[in-house]
Amino acid sequence: MVVVGVSSFVISKGNLMAALESMKAILFAAGSMGLIMGAVSILRKDRENEKEWFEWKKRFKIFSYRVAISIMSITILLYGCIIDELLFMLNH
């Protein structure tokens, strides 16, 4: 996200709005893909056959890695929403 923001800032010749728009787009895309991956992994039926499931369960007793992926994706989307709100306040 930072690399895209800085490169967009440089390419747009110092336009902060363009850099924030690029960062927002990357956050929304990454968060959406993460939620899709989390949903697909939750819907899979072969949980007991997965080797990493047992490894994760040894380390973390409360959350499965599927829930952790979903929570991280929601957090990424919230950061995108914060940037979107910032852009809205700067435009009005």
Write out pLDDT tens, residues 26-62: 999 999 999 999 888 878 766 556 666 667 677 666 7
- Torsion on CA atoms 30, 66, 41, 57, rounded to nearest 10: 140
Of 25, 27, 39, give the one whose Cα is nearest residue 69: 39
pTM equals 0.77
Answer yes or no: are the C-beta atoms of 83 and 24 closer than 8 Å. yes
pLDDT tens per residue, range 51-60: 666 676 776 6
DSSP 14: S
